[in-house]
């Protein structure tokens, strides 16, 4: 197990290094940030001082070498826009996204497992048809469209919920609800398909013949053996929320890492962009590692 974790950590570190190099040079192609942070009537001397202060006058190779040297010392640079450490800015935003993803995926996982398992117990029944219908709609609906419709209905017309911000619990309802829909539809379908296969196996039929009640058959005998493909999809969807909630965070004005990354790219705050990329990549690596370890916990036959 330690060898497996070490290999995965090494592979992820190599990928992270390649990602940092790629993002560093591509971000510099977006242009000179001087025009965004200085007034239009700024003098040539002021512009040169700004570039010199942030090291933009040096060749790209020199800038990259200086950045790598700072990384080795644990220095991720400073945010041009906020004039404070870039990693501090990123971790604040990432905390919001982490809470959003945790709340959403907890609700999604619980609902999808229960509803998908019950739907698989009687395939073709009314409950199964209703669950399948709504799961297909949820898996197909675009997030941005759902967000706009939700704002129009519940915030603009009914005045039940706020449109943006994080001040109260009501501010979380729309972002969580919109992010809930797609992973719920996808995970429910996987749970249903996996449970149908497991519930048709010989040991489940034997349990039924012995008179075992419905609930233990579904949630004790069947669910654990059906969870391997489900865990994979749950991990993928959680990583998608952590790394891809850019649109939802932007629409709802949610101060997460997705919105921060978009704002930093538009404002050419290079240190924040790079720090955000590294934090997101590290989070996805840890999540994938936890999924692999969960496989071995659920199925003793799996050994790394």
Inside any domain, residue 108 = yes
What CATH number is associated with residue 161?
A: 1.10.3720.10
Q: Per the domain annotation, does 2 fall within a domain?
A: no
Q: Is the pLDDT of residue 110 over 70?
A: yes
Chain segment 156-205, per-residue pLDDT in tens = 998 898 888 787 888 899 999 999 999 999 999 999 888 888 777 776 66
The more confident residue out of 250 and 299 is: 250
Is residue 61 assigned to a domain? no
3-state secondary structure of 301: coil
Q: From residue 258, how far is each of 24, 77, 249 by CA, in Å?
A: 18, 19, 6
Please report whether residue 51 resides in a domain.
no
Assigned domain for 10 exists: no
If pLDDT is split at 50, 70 and 90, which confidence band does 302 have? Answer: low
Q: What is the mean pLDDT of the chain?
A: 84
Domain that holds residue 141: 86-298
> Average pLDDT in the 115-139 region?
88
Instruction: Specify if 246 maps to a domain.
Output: yes
pLDDT tens figures, 238-271 = 888 876 677 888 888 888 888 888 888 888 888 8
Cβ atoms < 10 Å from Cβ of 177? 16
Measured in Å, how far apart are the chain's first and last C-alpha atoms? Answer: 6
Range with the poorest average pLDDT among 41-45, 126-130, 217-221: 217-221
Domain assignment present for 130: yes
Tell me whether residue 36 is in a domain: no
Could you give the number of structural domains in the chain?
A: 1
Q: Which two tokens stand for residue 27?
A: 């971000």
At residue 130, the pLDDT reads 92
> What does the alpha-carbon distance between residue 81 and residue 179 come to, in Å, rounded to a whole number?
29
């Amino acid at each position: 197990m330690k060898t497996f974790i070490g290999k995965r950590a090494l592979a992820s570190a190599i990928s992270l290094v390649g990602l940092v190099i790629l993002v560093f040079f591509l971000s510099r192609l977006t242009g000179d940030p001087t025009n965004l942070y200085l007034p239009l009537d700024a003098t040539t001397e002021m512009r040169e001082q700004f570039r010199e202060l942030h090291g933009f006058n040096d060749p790209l190779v020199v800038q990259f070498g200086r950045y790598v040297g700072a990384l080795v010392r644990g220095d991720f640079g400073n945010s041009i826009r906020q004039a404070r450490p870039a990693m501090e800015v990123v971790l604040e935003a990432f905390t919001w996204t982490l809470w959003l993803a945790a709340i959403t995926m907890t609700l999604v996982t619980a609902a999808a497992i229960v509803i998908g398992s019950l739907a698989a117990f009687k395939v073709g029944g009314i409950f199964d048809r209703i669950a399948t219908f709504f799961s297909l709609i949820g898996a197909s609906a675009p997030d941005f469209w759902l967000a706009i419709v939700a704002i129009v209905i519940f915030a603009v017309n009914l005045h039940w919920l706020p449109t943006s911000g994080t001040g109260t619990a009501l501010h979380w309802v729309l972002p969580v609800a919109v992010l809930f829909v797609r992973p719920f539809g996808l995970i429910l379908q996987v749970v249903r398909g996996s449970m149908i296969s497991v519930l048709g196996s010989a040991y489940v039929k034997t349990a039924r013949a012995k008179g075992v009640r419905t609930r233990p058959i579904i949630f004790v005998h069947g669910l654990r053996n059906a969870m391997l493909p489900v865990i994979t999809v749950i991990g993928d969807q959680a990583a998608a929320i952590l790394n891809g909630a850019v649109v939802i965070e932007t629409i709802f004005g949610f101060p997460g890492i997705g919105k921060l990354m978009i704002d930093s790219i538009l404002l050419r705050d290079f240190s924040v962009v790079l720090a955000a990329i590294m934090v997101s990549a590290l989070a996805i690596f840890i999540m994938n590692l936890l999924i692999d370890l969960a496989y071995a916990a659920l199925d003793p036959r799996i050994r790394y």
